[in-house]
Each structure stands twice: as C-alpha cells, then as structure tokens.
C-alpha cells in the first residue's frame, strides 16, 4: 500500500510531483486558509505523513488522533508549534529545515522593512493611491536617514551575519549583542562591535532582532528595553514574535518612545492586535521571511527528502527530535 501524505497548504509543483510519485497525496489547496485544529485532527487520522507549515499547530490532541504516524515533516527551522516531546514519546520523527537555507531571504526582508519604515514607503504608497501627491520637496513625508547610522543586531546567527553584510553597503556602524560572542577575526571581517544589550539599545538608530526563540529569549525586548532606545530609533523584527512583548511595543509606538517599527512576526500569529494595525508608524508584513519562489521550492524538496529517508528505513536527515531513534 502506498504511503498517504497530507499537505496543509500548496507547495511547489516540482516537489508535489515527487510526492505523488511515492505516495497518495491529499492537500489543502487554499493558500489563505490556515487549517483549524479540528481539520488537522481529521487529516491526521487518515494519513501516514503530515506535511505542515510554520503556522500549523500540531499539539498532543492532533498527535493522539493517529499515534502511528510515520512522520511530521515541517517547513520550519524550529518547530515551536509542534509538540515534539509528545511526538518523541510516540516514536514519531519530526523534521525541520537547515537554518542556513533561510539566512539570505530573511536578511533581505529585514532590510526591506528597515528601509520601508524609515523612509515611510508604505505611507507614501497609500497617499499616492488615494490621489494625494505632495510636492517633491514637501516636508509631509520626511523620514529617517539610513546611510551612516548605527545598526544594532540582537542575535548573531546566520541571519544576523547576513544582515550585517548588507549594512556595510550603507556605511553603518554595526553593534551586536549575543550571549555567544564571535571570534575576534569574524567580528573584524564583518565590521562588528560586541556590546551589552542595554548599550546596543541606547546607541542604535535601528534595532533588528535575529535571535532564536527559546525560553530565555521570550519577551527579551519589553517596556524597559524600549525605554532605553532613542526616540528617533526604529525597531525591526523578522525573527519570532514572542521575543518581543507586543503590548509594550504598541505602547512605545503609540506614545512616540520610538520612531517606528517594521514587523514580519507577531506574538500570537496569525492574530495581530487591531491597535498595532491602526498605528501609522509601523509596517506590517504577514511573515514573509522565506517567501521567495526559488527558496520555497528548495524547502519543499528538503521535506520530500525527509519523507523518502523515513520510507527507506533511514534516519531523516533533518530530524529535530533525534531521541526518537533511541527508541
């Protein structure tokens, strides 16, 4: 009997073709529909592999619907919304993606947000579409300078390094804060200076978050941290939403304690507080970090590779819960 594979949203056609060559595939074809818990439970009952996205929440109830799953294969680097402990107890491998795959795309998007919020690109676009075109030297849409300013990077993994490389083209002074300091030659090569988090916040014109979400980094940036920042500074987050206390960010933006923010991630995705959406000094994106056509296709093929390995009786090359093989 051919293995059954359920995919929670559309994927690249070339990867889908590979999957149909090895199994019976069922797919939610609506890219705007995030499957509910009840839908996931129903899907899991009739499948061998659950192919899920970052936004899918696979908790113990979903797993209990089919404890004989052969695998949960995801397109995330850190499957925070998958109960990996429960999956391990059931002997179900959970696979992720190599983090290096997303470094460039995420850094590119961080820069898109940084430039958009500083130069008020989204506000200007709305104004023009509404029929208002201020004079070419009107003061109405004056924003913040980028070139020659200070960029503070919170977290210096692959995305942080990629963001630093891009900043050098803007002649920026680069600060970073990370519990693990880079070797001196690497700091020198990237033009980085390590500082404590509070010093980074006080000195930076732009603060960009690139840390991993862990119990230690949850609400790493809150009211106290926003109070440290310059009133003219901008805050960028393309990492994970819960790293930031979203209520504190809203208050900082509303009260003008910081100049603006560019966000691709939120504390309770996909829910975005209406108070945040109503603020004019924030640019909001729907978690587009990996939304590059070529990258998404490559990601899908990594998932297929993981499924093929499991079916061949091999260890999945990108297994997130290797303890499952100890069973």
Q: Please tell me the predicted confidence (pLDDT) of residue 326.
A: 75
Q: Please tell me the predicted confidence (pLDDT) of residue 210.
A: 98
List domains and CATH numbers for the chain: 4-99+292-326 (3.40.50.720), 101-284 (3.40.50.720)
**Dihedral sign (CA 55, 59, 64, 65):** negative
240 annotated active-site: yes
- C-beta atoms surrounding 248 within 10 Å: 18
Among residues 18, 120, 240, 257, the one annotated as catalytic is 240
166 annotated active-site: no
pLDDT in tens, 34-48: 999 999 999 999 999
Q: For the chain, what is the mean pLDDT?
A: 96
pLDDT in tens, 264-276: 999 999 999 999 9
For residue 1, pLDDT beyond 90: no
Task: Dig out the tokens for 217 from the structure.
Answer: 């980094």
218 annotated active-site: no
For residue 71, pLDDT beyond 60: yes
Q: Please tell me the predicted confidence (pLDDT) of residue 136.
A: 86
Print burial letters for 46-75: b (CB count within 10 Å at least 16), e (below 16).
ebbbbbbbbebbbeeebbeebeebbbbbbb
Residue 79: Cβ-neighbour burial (10 angstroms; 0-12, 13-18, 19+): buried
Among 63, 74, 58, CA closest to 306? 74
Higher pLDDT, 224 or 214: 224
pLDDT band at 66 (very low <50, low <70, confident <90, very high): very high
Q: Please tell me the predicted confidence (pLDDT) of residue 169.
A: 94
Pairwise CA distance, residues 140 & 199, whole Å: 33
Among 80, 73, 26, 84, CA closest to 55? 80
Map residue 155 onto helix, strand or coil. Answer: coil
Among residues 165, 251, 269, 308, the one annotated as catalytic is 269
pLDDT in tens, 107-132: 999 999 999 999 999 999 999 999 99
pLDDT in tens, 238-295: 999 999 999 999 999 999 999 999 999 999 999 999 999 999 999 999 999 999 999 9
- Say which residues have a Cβ less than 8 Å from residue 317's Cβ, sequence separation at least 6: 305, 306, 309
pLDDT band at 91 (very low <50, low <70, confident <90, very high): very high
Q: What is the DSSP letter of 244?
A: B
Among residues 161, 210, 257, 287, the one annotated as catalytic is 287
Q: Please tell me the predicted confidence (pLDDT) of residue 95.
A: 98
Q: Give mean pLDDT, residues 213-234.
A: 97
Q: Please tell me the predicted confidence (pLDDT) of residue 135.
A: 86
């Amino acid at each position: 009997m051919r293995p059954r594979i359920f995919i929670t949203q559309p994927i690249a056609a070339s990867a889908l073709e590979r999957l149909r060559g090895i199994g019976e595939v069922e797919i939610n074809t609506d890219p705007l529909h995030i499957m509910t818990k009840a839908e996931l439970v129903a899907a899991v009952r009739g499948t061998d592999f659950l192919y899920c996205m970052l936004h899918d929440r696979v908790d113990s109830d979903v797993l209990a619907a089919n404890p004989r799953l052969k695998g949960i294969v995801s397109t995330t680097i850190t499957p925070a919304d998958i109960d990996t402990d429960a999956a391990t107890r059931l002997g179900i491998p959970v696979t992720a993606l190599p983090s290096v795959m997303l470094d460039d795309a995420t850094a590119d998007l961080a820069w898109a947000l940084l430039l958009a919020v500083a130069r008020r690109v989204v506000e200007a676009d709305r104004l023009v579409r509404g029929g208002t075109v201020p004079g070419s030297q009107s003061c109405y849409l004056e924003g913040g300078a980028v070139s020659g300013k200070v960029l503070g990077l919170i977290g210096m993994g692959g995305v942080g390094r990629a963001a630093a490389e891009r900043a050098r083209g803007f002649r920026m002074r680069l600060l970073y804060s990370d519990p693990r300091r880079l070797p001196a030659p690497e700091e020198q090569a990237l033009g980085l200076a390590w500082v404590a988090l509070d010093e980074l916040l006080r000195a930076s014109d732009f603060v960009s978050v690139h840390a991993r979400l862990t119990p230690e980094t949850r609400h790493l940036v809150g009211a106290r941290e926003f109070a440290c920042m310059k009133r003219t500074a901008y805050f960028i987050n393309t990492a994970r939403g819960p790293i930031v206390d979203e209520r504190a960010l809203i208050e900082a933006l509303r009260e003008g304690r910081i100049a603006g923010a560019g966000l691709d991630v939120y504390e309770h995705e996909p829910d975005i507080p209406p108070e945040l959406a109503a603020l004019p000094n924030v640019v909001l994106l729907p978690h587009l970090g990996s939304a590059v056509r070529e990258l998404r296709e490559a990601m899908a093929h990594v998932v297929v590779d993981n499924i093929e390995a499991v079916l061949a009786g091999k260890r999945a090359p990108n297994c997130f819960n290797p303890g499952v093989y100890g069973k």
